[in-house]
Chains A and B, each alone.
Chain A
């Protein structure tokens, strides 16, 4: 291919006109822009479905049996709950979950909320399921964490630890404004009360982080859920 080399060498010596360069850059940009837009259009639908699918699966894992999710944005500072469709740019952090009973009737199962807090190495994001009837947390799942593999990431994998959240007591106090007992993480094997979380030995910091993020979220989210319980039970239907 010495012909190509011979072609480019003299070319490099004489300066190219600016107009040519601008036109060339413009043309290349247009082509590149087109490629990107096409790729975006082709994949956008699949990506949206994938993300929705993942959310559905994760919620289904913390609250088994839920087939229909109604999405809400709960503002913990202002104390409001609004359906996702009515807020612009909000991120869903509360799901009202519905399933069907034996006779095929739509039935309210409970709420699933998103919570986040600082772990050992970065933010931990998690989902937890709350049953308003029993006033307990019935399920918990870490969505994202950067905890140390092999130690801190036991909060995701450890079955004994996850057993803490099958029936965690989060009963409200008398005037329904806060939890009667704050959720606390205790040392491994020292759990005495139903509102305590039994830590994983060897991953105490990560276990405590889970307790803290749950408590911080539940302390406000659960009173809020009870204030809006009627609306949530109807689920926008």
Chain B
């Protein structure tokens, strides 16, 4: 199997293999912690930290870890960094910690992280693994910001807590409720599918693109 270039390791996760919109992984936090932009940013940072650190450690250990116990080792490493994140968030801001509820601890079982450990960093060198973690983390953050932005602007009429539309705006409350999360993500997936299909259609007649 050919190893991706340094640039691809970083860029793939942001758009082409975006973890939420393309791979449809890590849906739980993408739905639950996106009722405001602030929460979305906090969650993105937490996931990115865990992705980068666990990718790095898995990559460092990759030559010593035999196939039989690799999943156990991966989970152990991920759980460690999630615990660290848990303490860090609590130390930085208790209100944010409360807003994220159980979802910080649940980063452990976020499919994105385990799948990157298994599919990428157990096969590639440390630098590439860190780049991959960063790329995937940024891709995840973009998705969360897309969700959080739409939900906060429509659902509370504000962005990052700053009111946008003046006092007469009646917020579209449904968007900060759970069902709004489902609707927003569904709509984004729809838009992405349309985008990709349009891209594919435009490419076909020319036929000379790689």
Residues of A at under 8 Å CB distance from B?
Answer: 1-2, 4-5, 7-8, 11-12, 15-16, 20-21, 24-25, 28-29, 32, 35-36, 39-40, 42-44, 46-47, 50-51, 54, 144, 148-151
Smallest distance from the beta carbon of B77 to chain A beta carbons, Å?
7
Q: Would B77 and A28 count as touching, CB distance under 8 A? A: yes
Listed from nearest, the 9 A-B pairs whose CB atoms lie closest are: A150-B173, A1-B3, A16-B66, A32-B80, A43-B91, A46-B91, A39-B84, A43-B87, A149-B176
CA distance A28 to B10 in the complex (A): 27
Q: Would B80 and A35 count as touching, CB distance under 8 A? A: yes
Q: Would B69 and A24 count as touching, CB distance under 8 A? A: yes
Q: Would A16 and B176 count as touching, CB distance under 8 A? A: no
CA distance A187 to B43 in the complex (A): 40
Can you give 6 contacting A-B residue pairs, CB < 8 Å?
A11-B66, A43-B91, A44-B87, A54-B94, A149-B176, A149-B177
Smallest distance from the beta carbon of A215 to chain B beta carbons, Å?
27
Given A25-B73, A50-B90, A150-B171, the answer on whether A1 and B125 have CB atoms closer than 8 Å is yes
Question: Which residues of A are found within 8 Å of B95, using beta-carbon distances?
Answer: 54
Given A24-B64, A144-B98, the answer on whether A32 and B91 have CB atoms closer than 8 Å is no
Q: Would B83 and A36 count as touching, CB distance under 8 A? A: yes
Given A4-B123, A144-B98, the answer on whether A39 and B176 have CB atoms closer than 8 Å is no
CA distance A42 to B139 in the complex (A): 30
Question: Which residues of B are found within 8 Å of A7, using beta-carbon distances?
Answer: 63
- For the complex, would chain A's binding face be called helix, strand, loop or mixed by DSSP majority? helix
Q: Does B109 contact A (CB under 8 A)?
A: no
Q: Does B67 contact A (CB under 8 A)?
A: yes
Q: Would B123 and A5 count as touching, CB distance under 8 A? A: yes
Q: Does B210 contact A (CB under 8 A)?
A: no
Q: Would A21 and B173 count as touching, CB distance under 8 A? A: no
CA distance A40 to B85 in the complex (A): 10
* Cβ contact of B68, chosen from A21, A43, A148, cutoff 8 A: A21
Question: Which residues of B are found within 8 Å of A36, using beta-carbon distances?
Answer: 80, 83-84
> Across the two chains, which residue of chain B brings its CB closest to A4?
B123
Interface hits, B28-61 → A, CB 8 Å: 35, 61
Question: Which residues of B are found within 8 Å of A4, using beta-carbon distances?
Answer: 3, 62-63, 123-125
Given A24-B66, A36-B84, the answer on whether A1 and B124 have CB atoms closer than 8 Å is yes
Q: Mark B69-93, 1 if CB is under 8 A from A, else 0.
A: 1001100110111011001101101
Question: Which residues of A are found within 8 Å of B25, using beta-carbon distances?
Answer: none
> Across the two chains, which residue of chain A brings its CB closest to B4?
A1
Question: Which residues of A are found within 8 Å of B119, using beta-carbon distances?
Answer: none
CA distance A17 to B126 in the complex (A): 26
Q: Does B2 contact A (CB under 8 A)?
A: yes
CA distance A4 to B155 in the complex (A): 50
Q: Would A12 and B3 count as touching, CB distance under 8 A? A: no
A35-B81, A47-B87, A51-B94 given. 11 additional CB < 8 A pairs?
A1-B123, A1-B125, A1-B128, A4-B62, A4-B63, A4-B124, A24-B65, A24-B66, A28-B61, A32-B79, A39-B87
> Across the two chains, which residue of chain A brings its CB closest to B101?
A146
Smallest distance from the beta carbon of B173 to chain A beta carbons, Å?
3
CA distance A148 to B90 in the complex (A): 25
CA distance A32 to B93 in the complex (A): 24
Given A2-B3, A8-B123, A43-B91, the answer on whether A150 and B176 have CB atoms closer than 8 Å is yes
Q: Would B87 and A40 count as touching, CB distance under 8 A? A: yes
Smallest distance from the beta carbon of B157 to chain A beta carbons, Å?
11
Q: Would B94 and A50 count as touching, CB distance under 8 A? A: yes
Given A36-B84, A47-B91, the answer on whether A2 and B2 have CB atoms closer than 8 Å is yes
Q: Would A149 and B66 count as touching, CB distance under 8 A? A: no
CA distance A144 to B87 in the complex (A): 21
Q: Would A43 and B171 count as touching, CB distance under 8 A? A: no
> Across the two chains, which residue of chain B brings its CB closest to A49?
B91
CA distance A15 to B67 in the complex (A): 9
CA distance A32 to B72 in the complex (A): 13
